Every structure is written in structure tokens, then in C-alpha cells.
Amino acid sequence: NLEMFLREHGKPAPQFSRLIADKTLLVGMTSTVFRDAEYTSHEVTIDDAQMAWFEETLKTHPASEGWQVFVFTHAPPNGSGLRVLQENHVVNGCCWLNHSNDLKCRKFIELVRENRCVKAWFSGHFHLGQDYQDSITFPTIDPKDGPYPNRGACTFVQTSVMRGGTSRDGRQQSRLVRGNKDGFEICTVDHQKDGKIRVDAKITYSDCNHEAGVYAHEDSVAENDNYFKVYQPSAGDNLHAPDDGYRRYNEEGEVVIDEEVTMDSVAWWNMACGRVIGMLNGNLIEYDRSTLAPLGLIVGADELVGKRVAVVDSGLEGECGIDGEEEGMEGADCGGQLGREQAVLLYDGDGDITVVQPNEDGSYWRKIVRNKMVRMKEVRRIKAAKAFAAEKLGKGEESNVVSSWGPYTTTSGTAKKTGVAGLTAPSAR
């Protein structure tokens, strides 16, 4: 697909740069992975070659020499601060560029912070309109309004869609950028109103390293608008305390949220390992430790609502806690455990507890949506099972077909069982 795209559009490479005025450069990067993506096909992946090209482009066009760089990508980078998103992008782990790779995902905002030549970054991906103020974020804000956002000199801009069939909130809009002697304006072109133009924001330069942005209109939100406004934690700074959702550790070194979680519950905390976990719309969500942008779903509302949450130490001081006599654990010890080990617990009034185990890499958000091609094959296998039940077993719709997935269902060192209670069918014997 990428090969055909480049060939048919006469493009020598997935990325581009265009000099459109004196020291004003447009830069674009393209996703190069789809059907062979490791996780969801809808993750927007910028490959290493484009990343290296982008970094070099920024270094050779410094703000100190008066350069202004405007960047265009399909999805926004982690750290953009954009909050009007689609919920499916949050829970499936495909909000941000290179979303499933911690270091590569964070690399974009780090480059923006280091290179103040980046003045604006335009992206789409969410198929949502431009009437919301949270579809534009500024590099600086008045200290009275909150902590310093740490987004370099860049204004991040979400862009809608022009065709009605692809819009998720009914809006059909695109962006127009107009430069002037003081900076630039960001406008909306409304394709449902004969191309009517509205000014959304004005960005003014005081010099090559300092910018100020102001919104030109209030939010325009309809009652039936279908969008998902992300709660993003605020860690505060020297002038501001963390937001009201921040939960501190008690004297026992624990975080205990001893109240039933609801769809409106808001809370977040830092794990000892540096990971950040919080609640959003009844879900347990992991946030990026640097930008506090949502990374993905840990526990869904179907499992979390009505429970309580605790974070407790799980390392046993002075002793190992691994039973070397257990089958499959011979020779194991506690070596290699750096830092404070913790357990995230979900519990109810009856004393039932669920331990939320982290992934092998230490992250918590679940990469549970596989590539579209993998899922298509899985669906075909299920259809084949149903056809077998109908043709060979004489069973119709009453046949119960389930799937068995790995990789892990137990803490045991010897895996002798693969059944999952409540999901797979038990043995007939």
C-alpha cells in the first residue's frame, strides 16, 4: 500500500518539506504501517527513517535564525494537550503518533520542547469538529490560568473532516492558516455553510522564541455532540498545586480510594515505578509519566464501577516472597527487583479482590486490540467453527462457540490448565 501510494502520487518519500515564504517551512510525515502493525491497525506509526529526517530538519532550521516550521501529521503527538478525542482511540491505544512505543511516542514532544522553531502542528485522526476550544492548545498560558504546559513554542491544532460521511459529530470543516507581520491566525472553513470562514485563534510573536495565543471564540457545543473530552491530570508547578484529583500516599505508604467508583469518579496517582494511573469515565487509565496524556485502558468500566481501589506495597521486607519449593519456581530468587514493588487492587464490600498485574515491560495499559488482519482471521476461524457445528454436529444457532486466547491465565510456574472461568467450556469428564 505504501509503495503504491508513493508511486501514484509521484512522491519520492513518505515525508515532505516545502519552503512557502522566507524562513517558513511546511513539514509533513506519513504513517508507513497498517496491516502489519503489531497492535491496532489504526495506530499512526512514523518510521525511524522519517523520525531521523524530522530531527535533522529541525536542527538545521533553528529558531535563533528566524525559522518557522509548521508540521502536519495524521495523528497528533503525545503531549499536544488536545483533549477532544474519540473514546475508542483512548481505550484502544491509538491516540498519538507511535502510541504503543513509550520512547518513540514521547520523542515528538521532546523535539518540540528542544526546537522552538516548531510554531504549529496540525493533525486530524479523530474526525471531530473545530468548534471546541480544546481542539487548539497554546505553547504558553497566563500563570493565573494554570501550570506552564511545556509545549515549546508550538500551537497544536486538531483538524476536522470535509465530507459528512466521515464526520463523527456532524461537522464538516477544515483549517485555514493566515500569516501576518505579527504571527498567524488559525481559521475554520465551514463546508456546511458555503465555505464561511471563522477566526479561531490568533498567535502573536514577540520575538523568535516567545509566542502568545488567544482564542477568538467560545466553545460552540450542541446538546447531541458525540465526542469524548479527556480528563488530563495536572501535576502543577512551582506556582500551582496538583489538581483536585491527585491522590497522595497515606502514612502507611498506600493510596486507598475507599469509595465506590462511579462513571464520574476522578482520581490519579503516581506509582513508585514512575507510572501514572487514574480514572476516567469509570475506567482505569494509564497516563504518560511526562505529559500526563492518556495512554490506554487498564480496567474497563464494566469491571471497575462499584469497586474500590487501593495501591499497597507488595515486596516483603527482609524476605523473598517467592516459594522456591513450588513446582516450576526452582532456583528463583528476588534478584533484579529494583525500587519499591507495589500492587494495584480492586476490592468490593464482600472482600473480593482483583490484583491488576502490570505488563511484562512494567506498563499497565492493555494492548488488547490486535492488528485488523489478525482479527479478520480470528473471525473467519469462528465462522468455520459455527459451520462445523451446523454441518457436522447438526447444531444451529444454539451452538456456543468461544475462543481461547493466551498468553497468561495464572501465576503458577507450571501451566497445566488453559481454561478461563466463565469464558471457555469446561472439560466434559
- Counting Cβ atoms within 10 Å, is residue 414 exposed (0-12), middle (13-18) or buried (19+)? exposed
Mean pLDDT of all residues belonging to the chain = 86
pLDDT band at 332 (very low <50, low <70, confident <90, very high): very low
Please tell me the distance from the alpha carbon of residue 394 to that of residue 387, in angstroms, as a whole number.
Answer: 10
DSSP label at 327?
T
Closest by Cα among 240, 298, 302, 230 to 266: 230
DSSP code at position 303? H
* pLDDT reading at 330 higher than 50: no
Residue 349: C-alpha distances to residues 57, 255, 299, 413 (Å): 57, 18, 19, 31
Condensed to tens digits (0 to 9), the pLDDT of residues 159-178 reads 999 988 888 888 999 999 99
Q: Which tens digits make up the pLDDT trace of 393-425?
A: 988 777 888 888 777 777 777 666 766 676 666
Is 429's pLDDT higher than 80? no
More confident residue, 230 or 18: 18
Question: Residue 328: pLDDT above 60?
Answer: no
Give the list of residues 6+ apart from residue 191 with CB closer than 8 angstroms, or none. 162, 172, 173, 174
List the single range of 94-98, 231-235, 255-259, 314-318 with lowest mean pLDDT: 314-318
Annotate 386-403 with b (16+ C-beta within 10 A) or e (fewer). Answer: eeebeeeeeeeeeeeeee
Asked whether the beta carbons of 105 and 52 are under 8 A apart, the reply is no
The answer, yes or no, to whether the previous bond of 407 is cis (omega within 30 of 0) is yes
Asked if pLDDT for residue 329 goes beyond 60, the answer is: no
Return the pLDDT at 423. 62
First to last CA, the chain: 50
* Pair 86, 76: CB distance under 8 Å: no
CA–CA gap between residue 199 and residue 106 (Å, rounded): 31
CB 366 within 8 A of CB 297: yes
In terms of pTM, does the model score above 0.75? yes
Q: 88 is written with which cell numbers?
A: 475508542
pLDDT at position 415 = 63
pLDDT value of position 190: 95
Which amino acid does the sequence have at 384? A
**Pairwise CA distance, residues 153 & 63, whole Å:** 10
